[in-house]
Structure 1
Amino acid sequence: MKRLAVLTSIFLILSCTELLAQQLPSINEKTQALDQKEGFFAYYWNEAEGKLLLELDPDRLKTQFLYVNSLTAGLGSNDIGLDRNQLGDTRIVYFERRGPKVLMVQPNYAYRAITENEKEKQSVREAFAQSVLWGFEIVAEQNGRLLIDMTGFLLRDAHNVTGRLRARNEGSYRVDESRSAVYPEGTMNFPKNSEFEATLTFTADYPGEQVRSVTPTPRAITLRQHHSFVELPDNQFEPRPFDPRAGYSAVSYQDYSTPIGEPLTKRFIRRHRLKKKNPGAAVSEPVEPIIYYLDPGTPEPVRGALREGARWWNEAFEAAGYKNAFRVEVLPDSAHPLDVRYNMINWVHRSTRGWSYGSSVVDPRTGEIIKGHVLLGSLRVRQDYLIAEGLLSPYEEGLNYDENNNPMLEMALARIRQLSAHEVGHTLGLTHNFAASTNDRASVMDYPAPKVTITPDSTLDLQNAYDTGIGEWDKMAITYGYKDLSATADKEAALNEVITSAIDQGLHFISDADARPPGGAHPMAHLWDNGPDPVRQLNHVMDVRAIALENFSESAIPQGTPMATLEDALVPVYLYHRYQVEGTAKLIGGLEYSYSVRGDGQPGPAPVADSLQRAALEAMLNTLSPEALEIPGPVTDLIPPRPPGYHDSRELFNNHTDPAFDPLGAAETAANMTAKLLMNENRAARLMEFKARDSSRLGLGDMLDQVITETWQADPREGYRNAIQNTVNHVVLYQMMQLASDEDASSQVRSVINLKLEALREWIREEVEQPSPNEQRAASLLYGYRLLQQFTEEGEILTLPEPLRPPPGSPIGSGERPLLNCGVQFQPNRY
């Protein structure tokens, strides 16, 4: 009986499925009043019902293709990070029919078996999960062809806008379908790609502060999302192996068919397809050039600067043996910037300054870049202009500037050229090279600081602020990634020769994780620096800063501008040394090393020379001196509270004297940047370890002794400088106690710093018992003693407030949000 019941159930299911198929209309019946749009996937647009229907031929089922989702119209907030023309995820997918529905399936390309054994392939496929992205309703069927309703798929939040808003505490938004619709103007069809777009409205009852600042009605955010279905490239592209010394980002996967004893993980670089017409020629035109298109919404003179900077890459392709391989043109008015056929340089507006990005659509099977895609923040050029204004104080009475005679504009445009080249470099597959500044600006993939020259008459010159053209490292990297090897017998040897040649030339390469503060250790890998000697450069930067502060006046702002806005120009000048301090700190407890591989002859890791570490510490401590942190009195007297219509912003100093300008707060901010870097737990541990190996080296205890000597135990200053000195002392004490109580610090580090804090407590106790030259000094000593006494008893910092934080800084021209959108899409690189 049970068997009969099972057979009956199966019969009923089959009958219902057959009945459903019989009830479905034919495709001709369903679409007779609709226009068919032929292309990669044929589709029909039903204007009356607001529906988009997709036709699937039998050969389309199970055929894999690329699916890319993007954001066409953005939110305009750098902090939230939902930008116009922002790429989302890239996936390989296919359609699969299951009964009355069609599934969009994403196979798992992170785990594979590259073998002819089908069962071995199947075993890997079944071992790791795949993802079904959507289920489509079949609305018509005819001769094996299916018609599915795409509308729900297009009206969903594919870009995860709601997740981003929720993660930023901006509200629990949801898609309101009654206010969402397919967007026909962004929906188009071509032989190898189909493009779809939808207007989506997100609603929430309690919008966040950032949303409120950029939307007309914060409870209803209307954006547009784009979807691209793209034919997979053919199998004529040859993946190029990843080498950690070559300067590329990698696509990787695990190949479970790999013989035991060989690496399971396979790595290839990301790069565009490029071949010579004549592979045997030393120089040849390409079969197909790489063409980038510039956003036509970019204004002049910025457009010309972006075009010029991007075109620098042709120099690198010429060095790799190509003629006219790289071009930059303006996007035609008829083209869509998210059409996968166009490599794009987009000009993106936000309400606050922010990073620029270089990302790409990449074939995860091979690393082939299908579409390079740059987002350039438009406020970048204005911030660079502001920096130049602060350095030069150029607006003397009666002096006017135009495009042909404007040093601020010239510097800002020079920076934009370099930025354009940098971001395009990411979309060519390159990663950052933060050691390039030590090789005479050998790469646009570094983060360059403006190079300011001090003239013989002690004025500042910005004419050489930024370099022009591609560097020697860039030429090497492009040669590694794009040199045509089709006529080369030993390709591995040819690629290795490219890298060893760069090593022989003394070109250095260090990328992100080893360069970013606060705990970085490499003495050559810094952001926003110049030159091979960080200590010398810090001293130079401090000299530039001193001249700029001495000359700073109302001439830093144009006539008719509120005097309160002088603070806007003062901030980047007063904190002009912030990045060089970060670079110099890396020498203290620093480690010299390279991304060496066995057999390449590069030396192993070694501590930075002790003399350099001690010089770096001295230069760092000089930035804590009251003389360095003092703001000239005339400057302080010029800055009134903000007038109506000119509100406070995060670009200004935090302060204790609101609404008045707070020069001591500015000193506290700058001192905290230096002290926090010195008291980094990783740096402290390296100092301990290096000292243990060689007792003559600078150790943690030595550094702490010198810090205390140059701050708390220094001779008391007078007046305003005395107030700065007391402020610095409290900042240093706070950071020392932070390190002493840091659970991530090693026991050795915590033991030494607690020893030094106890010695400082005893010293202060003796000082408190002596007559003090002034009340301010006496109060500061007593406060420090009681804090240390409390810390000794409780082991916590209970009453000393955290020092003021600096306004956004990096990048020098715009404020960085967190890296990286992973997946098979090219990881975006920020700048």
Structure 2
Amino acid sequence: MKRIGRMVCAVLTASFAVTTATAADAVAAKAEAKAPLDVAAATRGMEHAAGFFDVYRDTAKGRVLLGVRKLDTPLLLVTSLPWALGSNDVGLDRGQSGESHLVEFRRVGARLLLVEDNTKFRAVSPNPDEALSVRQAFAESVLWAADIVAERKGADAELVIDVSPLLISDRHGIASRLAETKQGKYEVDDKRSAVSLGEAKSFPDNTELEAQLTFKGPGEGAFVKDVAMDAQSLTFRQHLSLVRLPSPGFAPRAYHPASGAFSVGYYDYAQPLASSIDVRFQPRFRLDKTDPAAAQSAVKKPIVFYLDRGAPEPVRSALLDGANWWKSAFEKAGFKDAYRVELLPEGVDPMDIRYSLITWAHRYTRGWSYGQPIVDPRTGEIIKGSVTLGSQRVRQDILIAESLLAPYDKANAAGLKGQAEQMALARLRQLAAHEVGHALGFAHNFAASRLGNGSVMDYPHPLLKLGADGAISLDNAYGVGVGPWDDFIVAHAYGQFAPGTEAASLAKLRADIAKAGFRYVSDPDARAPGDAEPDGLLWDFGPDTLKAFDDLLAVRRKALDAFSIGVLPPERQAGELEARLVPVYLLHRYQTEAVARLVGGAEYAYSQAADRQAGSKPVPAGAQRAALDRLVATLGAEQLALPANVLDLVTPPGNDYVRNREYFATKSTPLFDAFAAVEAAAAQTTQFLFAPQRLNRVAWQHARDPREPGIADVLDATFRGTWQRDAIGNNLPAGDAVQTAANWVVLDALLNTLDAGQLHAQVDAELRASLQQWQKWLAKNPGQAGVAASRTEAAATIVKYLADPKSVKLRSLPVIPPGAPI
């Protein structure tokens, strides 16, 4: 038995030895199989492009390999869209650039990780442990990982990875944008996506890669249905630029809130305890003089923007002209031949990061244009300027001009049509300069229009006037060239000064532009209906808000009285008359907002404590009350009633045509709904006048100074000008019906303001008290016929709402057709 046991043990031992040896061999074989191949062997037969990263195009397998030579070395990753969606509402446009990301490759065993550094938080300190403590405190992001497929060791060391999976991942955020715009949940379909081998290129300081991405999704969103052949299958092209960081020598310029610039920055935890950790720089291109000591000097490398070759004439010439306006500002700042715009050379890839690009982007509907700088997040140095100009805007400007001139039923139709086109091209020149300004690092200045053509960084309204013959004139509708504010922002951003004098020199620039009468108000204080700064207006014009409003109303009246079939080119279907009526009827929309800013308005400035400009100054009481009177007048039938020539002309769209967002809403299908037009115009006023922020300010300003209008003043004036009015004369078509429609918009808007819950308690109480007074008057003064029915119902609605808000189903506020952008 012992012998048998020993034999069994020997067999088991031998078996174990064989098994162990076999397992070891398998592990060794597996390890050998995983070991990266030699680069030459792994890339044999592939097209090779040497550069910042070596690129290997594997046509047999449809993939792109990337040769990585430097690890743990930061570089920039920038995405863009050479082929896009075409929907203004979604905002994924052809030529669109994404933001820059500071990334680096790190090796972990047989893999490479692509890691995005956290550039938001730093410690700029000579103490490496302090710097490390901040890096460890805030998360970095591993964006992607890949197995090493080949390796070369030695002096020419290189790690080769298959970068194809990165290229067909959604780095631009396409799916997120579709979801944000409520188009549904989309995701990349790997089987219908592929790298673009022919677009994989490499240069000394940048590598350009591209892929075709197909996203699958529900296809139920209206915006994707508008533009896609199959809304469940959206195919884009995504471009990735890997960019070497700029060489040393760039001097960041500290951001000042009155500089008229954007800012980029980070939180620096190494700042002294009494200093802010919020460190900001002004984005700008590197612009070095060949002779730094000279007041005027050529530069080592000029700023060059390139225009998309897809822009047709006469658009192309207008864009080149307008975008080149910035030349003069750079010359005044001391730089010779430092800036120019030219047509993109034939054969150049527009997405190549080396080219600052102005893209002529087509969309299904009109929309905003954009300009942005792509920056080095460490310093604010601009790597590339990216501009997107929506092609539909110029058509909208022609439409507006034709609607004002009504040229097509006049003897001089050709001349008037030419005026309309010239106005639109003049606007296009200004637009090109404006968006390039953003790409140069400059923000909007919506106060510049107070001084005429003060800046291309404002939004310009066409300067319309009545000529000596009483006709509408479009002469000089838009300014030409950059303005004094633009000269200032270029000098402040790019000017070079003697050592030790920069801060004082920049302060003098700011003081001088202020002495010239320029103020600076940008987006945060200009876009909301309840904003307060009276100079921060989009699309307003002139130094005197009230006079500009009165003048524009006169132009509007002339245009309405002259509205005819001649506003429409002969080949257009007649249903488009309504779309041409919209910009004429609502011509005063932006100047109405300007007037509203005076009510509860206050001036203030962007500054630092050292500037001693803190505080705000309310608009004087007289101006506020004059503004209130004009706003109430826009709610009266005299301004709202459409003349008979318009009412008798507008007609439904023809067969196979439909109304769209550019028309008034209608509850009178298929006919034009005059009530809807009146309601839209009334809502244009009430959205500004009854904005909760404005009413809260009105109450506070009145409490500090009883001369300023208070809540009771605002509501009493509104009531007298609407519900409390006597019957409208017969000289206005359907005058009483028009006034009644506006009255209901006023009441609905007030109830919606109460219901929003954004009023202070005492303001809410004042509003309710005023409504109670309205209710009592309405109950005692029912009027006659249709007016009586509305007054009775309004009184009952007020009683019910004040007693129990939930018992009243509030009406949605009227839909206002889009105005901006123009």
Distance verdict in 2 for CA 1:713–1:94, change over 3 Å: same
Q: Is the 8 A contact 1:623 1:674 kept in 2?
A: yes
Higher RCO (C-alpha under 8 Å, 6+ residues apart): 1
Counting only pairs closer than 5 Å after superposition, residues 737-816 of structure 1 correspond to structure 2 as 737-768=751-782, 774-796=784-806, 798-812=808-822
> Who is 1:133 aligned against?
143
Specify the SS of the correspondent of 1:809: coil
> Who is 1:304 aligned against?
317
The correspondence for 1:154, drawn from 167, 174, 188, is 167
Distance verdict in 2 for CA 1:797–1:575, change over 3 Å: farther
What are the superposed Cα offsets for residues 623-657 of structure 1, whole Å, 9 maximum, x if unpaired?
11101111111211111211112211011000221
Confirm or deny that 1:294 pairs with 2:307. Answer: yes
Distance verdict in 2 for CA 1:800–1:166, change over 3 Å: closer
> Who is 2:373 aligned against?
360
State the Cα distance separating 1:405 from its structure 2 match: 6.8
Q: Is the 8 A contact 2:492 2:509 kept in 1?
A: yes
- For 1:193 and 1:355, locate their aligned partners in 2 and report how far apart those are by CA, in whole Å: 30
Specify the SS of the correspondent of 2:236: strand
The correspondence for 1:371, drawn from 340, 362, 384, is 384
- For 2:387 and 2:377, locate their aligned partners in 1 and report how far apart those are by CA, in whole Å: 20
- For 2:205 and 2:421, locate their aligned partners in 1 and report how far apart those are by CA, in whole Å: 43
Confirm or deny that 1:273 pairs with 2:286. Answer: yes
> Who is 2:185 aligned against?
172
Specify the SS of the correspondent of 1:84: coil
What are the superposed Cα offsets for residues 539-565 of structure 1, whole Å, 9 maximum, x if unpaired?
111111111000000110122432211
Q: Is the 8 A contact 2:407 2:413 kept in 1?
A: no
Q: Is the 8 A contact 2:530 2:691 kept in 1?
A: yes
State the Cα distance separating 1:23 from its structure 2 match: 3.5
State the Cα distance separating 1:699 from its structure 2 match: 0.9
Q: Is the 8 A contact 2:600 2:697 kept in 1?
A: yes
Confirm or deny that 1:75 pairs with 2:88. Answer: no
- For 2:500 and 2:812, locate their aligned partners in 1 and report how far apart those are by CA, in whole Å: 63
State the Cα distance separating 1:296 from its structure 2 match: 0.6
What are the superposed Cα offsets for residues 458-485 of structure 1, whole Å, 9 maximum, x if unpaired?
2110111100011001101100100122
Confirm or deny that 1:344 pairs with 2:357. Answer: yes
- For 1:258 and 1:612, locate their aligned partners in 2 and report how far apart those are by CA, in whole Å: 46
Specify the SS of the correspondent of 2:407: coil
Specify the SS of the correspondent of 2:409: coil
Letter in 1 for 2:740: N
Counting only pairs closer than 5 Å after superposition, residues 727-742 of structure 1 correspond to structure 2 as 727-742=741-756
> Who is 1:662 aligned against?
673
The correspondence for 1:116, drawn from 120, 126, 131, is 126
| 5+ long unaligned stretches in structure 1 | 1-7, 813-831
- For 2:793 and 2:417, locate their aligned partners in 1 and report how far apart those are by CA, in whole Å: 54
The correspondence for 1:562, drawn from 573, 589, 599, is 573
Confirm or deny that 1:101 pairs with 2:111. Answer: yes
- For 1:596 and 1:158, locate their aligned partners in 2 and report how far apart those are by CA, in whole Å: 38
- For 2:614 and 2:121, locate their aligned partners in 1 and report how far apart those are by CA, in whole Å: 35
Confirm or deny that 1:535 pairs with 2:549. Answer: no
> Who is 2:702 aligned against?
691
- For 1:124 and 1:105, locate their aligned partners in 2 and report how far apart those are by CA, in whole Å: 17
- For 1:239 and 1:24, locate their aligned partners in 2 and report how far apart those are by CA, in whole Å: 43
Letter in 2 for 1:328: V
Specify the SS of the correspondent of 1:401: helix
Q: Is the 8 A contact 2:751 2:810 kept in 1?
A: no
> Who is 1:463 aligned against?
475
What are the superposed Cα offsets for residues 728-768 of structure 1, whole Å, 9 maximum, x if unpaired?
11111111112223312111110000000001001111113
State the Cα distance separating 1:70 from its structure 2 match: 1.3
> Who is 2:600 aligned against?
589
Letter in 2 for 1:185: G
Counting only pairs closer than 5 Å after superposition, residues 385-784 of structure 1 correspond to structure 2 as 385-397=398-410, 399-401=412-414, 406-485=418-497, 487-602=498-613, 604-718=615-729, 720-768=734-782, 774-784=784-794
- For 2:165 and 2:34, locate their aligned partners in 1 and report how far apart those are by CA, in whole Å: 24
Q: Is the 8 A contact 2:64 2:197 kept in 1?
A: no
- For 1:561 and 1:168, locate their aligned partners in 2 and report how far apart those are by CA, in whole Å: 32
Distance verdict in 2 for CA 1:20–1:750, change over 3 Å: farther
Confirm or deny that 1:234 pairs with 2:247. Answer: yes
- For 1:636 and 1:548, locate their aligned partners in 2 and report how far apart those are by CA, in whole Å: 14
Q: Is the 8 A contact 2:322 2:430 kept in 1?
A: yes
Q: Number of residue pairs matched?
A: 795
Please, which moves more after superposition, 787-796 or 546-555?
787-796
- For 2:218 and 2:382, locate their aligned partners in 1 and report how far apart those are by CA, in whole Å: 41
State the Cα distance separating 1:145 from its structure 2 match: 2.5
- For 2:121 and 2:600, locate their aligned partners in 1 and report how far apart those are by CA, in whole Å: 40
- For 1:20 and 1:261, locate their aligned partners in 2 and report how far apart those are by CA, in whole Å: 59
- For 2:418 and 2:621, locate their aligned partners in 1 and report how far apart those are by CA, in whole Å: 45
- For 1:20 and 1:757, locate their aligned partners in 2 and report how far apart those are by CA, in whole Å: 85
State the Cα distance separating 1:260 from its structure 2 match: 1.2
Distance verdict in 2 for CA 1:704–1:657, change over 3 Å: same
- For 2:804 and 2:35, locate their aligned partners in 1 and report how far apart those are by CA, in whole Å: 78
State the Cα distance separating 1:288 from its structure 2 match: 1.2
State the Cα distance separating 1:800 from its structure 2 match: 4.8
Specify the SS of the correspondent of 1:433: coil
Q: Is the 8 A contact 1:524 1:532 kept in 2?
A: no
Please, which moves more after superposition, 355-364 or 21-30?
21-30
Distance verdict in 2 for CA 1:567–1:797, change over 3 Å: farther
Letter in 2 for 1:273: R
Give the TM-score of the pair, scaled to structure 1: 0.93
Specify the SS of the correspondent of 1:573: helix
Q: Is the 8 A contact 1:500 1:600 kept in 2?
A: no
State the Cα distance separating 1:795 from its structure 2 match: 2.0
